[in-house]
Amino acid sequence: MRHTNDLKQKSKSHEVKQTGTTSYTVASGHTGKQYFITVLENGASCTCDWAKYRPADNNGRCGCSHVLAVMAYIEAEKGRTISAFQTFEQADRQHRPVMDIGDGILLTTRKAT
């Protein structure tokens, strides 16, 4: 079981660059390795090792820290911040729109203060 708080903490150290309408590169804050993220309708796919083992019926969507970093980047452009959850119950408690990005990760967004 992954902890979404750790995941979010980890995603903060990554460096995100937009390279196209739906394409981004993320440089890992830990290893400096580069990953390529493609934003899909709900969520995004990634080229990291974690993403390789995501089930195909998930459309390649991945709940890794790289995808979270990109989601945070996109929402930041809209003046919003994200929170990540693993159950609808937890996410629902926020009373905010919930985005299911696949791979068992749910995001809520709120206006940055």
Residues lying near Zn ion in the complex (CB under 5 A) are found at: 46, 48, 51, 64, 66
Q: SS3 letters for the chain?
A: CCCHHHHHHHHCCCEEEECCCCEEEEECCCCCCEEEEEECCCCEECCCHHHHCCCHHHCCCCCCHHHHHHHHHHHHHCCEEEEEECCHHHHHCCCCCEEECCCCCEEEEEECC
What's the min distance (Å) between Cβ of 106 and Zn ion?
A: 17
Nearer to Zn ion, 39 or 51 (CB): 51
Nearer to Zn ion, 50 or 81 (CB): 50
Nearer to Zn ion, 65 or 108 (CB): 65
What's the min distance (Å) between Cβ of 17 and Zn ion?
A: 15
What's the min distance (Å) between Cβ of 51 and Zn ion?
A: 5
